[in-house]
Amino acid sequence: MSNQGKTAYRGWEYAKIGDYHRNLDPDWSYTPTYLRKMAFVRQQIQNIGTDARILDAGCGEGVLVEDFRLQGYQIDGLDMNYESQYVLRGSVLSMPYDSESFDMVLFLDVFEHLAYTDQLIALTELRRVLRKGGQFIASIPNLAHWNSRFRMAFLGQLDRTDIETNHIGERPFSENRQILQKAGFEIEKIKGITLTVPFIYRRIICRRPSRFRWLHDLMEPIAIPSLAMINIFVCRKV
């Protein structure tokens, strides 16, 4: 796959600030979460091996796609707002792939950007291109993480993982789990990332992420899914 010979498309945040995942700012408040998420997903890709065909749906700049393609993996990237020699521009609501084409499908930090009415459509389409018994890995924010619950109880305000105009379909953990099951995925494992302990997370870790990344990572083993800010769902097509 190649988009050489034409102007590469950039939309959404990529048009304004460029490749912000590829050029990661160590003091971006989300950086500790992003690094832990990527480390987990990289291990899953390595476990499935180079013989498997992989799709990174909604891959953004295609950081994983480029990295693993150069290592000999069969991995494709698709994104509505980005285009490159590694990333094909297209929508997860209607993908240009045959049914049961992939052994693994990644869906990382994309679900929450879809309208509620489009979420089940996207999951159904992602399941369509996944082979029977194939692995589906989705990272999805939890609107009801610990600090969000704390702020709602005492201030009447949610602590969203991004502004509501970006995360138009953000849901609490229980709803995310239910809609994955409704779409026909069997959840094998849920990995919680970033325990948002009130005061500690927003006032210490987010203000100095590079300095306090160790504190973020120290708390990850006790980041139970219902309280974690991000959950990675490892699923199978059944």
**Cβ–Cβ < 8 Å for 130, 100:** yes
Reading the block at residue 47, the tokens are 């476990």
Task: Indicate if the pLDDT at residue 62 is higher than 90.
Answer: yes
Q: Output Rg (C-alpha) for the chain, integer angstroms.
A: 17
Instruction: Answer yes or no: are the C-beta atoms of 1 and 53 closer than 8 Å.
Output: no
Q: Which helix (H) or strand (E) holds 32?
A: helix 31-48
Inter-residue contact 89 to 57 (CB < 8 Å): no
Dist CA 125 CA 129 (whole Å) = 7
Output phi, psi for 237, to 5 deg: -85, 120
pTM for the model: 0.95
Domain boundaries, the chain: 25-237
Per-residue pLDDT tens for 13-59? 999 999 999 999 999 999 999 999 999 999 999 999 999 999 999 99
Residues counted in the chain:
238
Q: Return the pLDDT at 44.
A: 98
Residue pair 75/55 in contact by the 8 Å Cβ criterion: yes
pLDDT at 6: 63
Checking if the pLDDT of 7 tops 90, the result is no
Give the pLDDT score at 8: 93
Cα four-point dihedral sign 116, 145, 12, 66: negative
Q: What percent of the chain stands above pLDDT 90?
A: 97
Q: What is the CATH number of domain 25-237?
A: 3.40.50.150
45 close to 137: Cβ distance less than 8 angstroms: no
Three-state DSSP class for residue 7: coil
DSSP string, 53-74: EEEEET-TTTHHHHHHHTTT-E
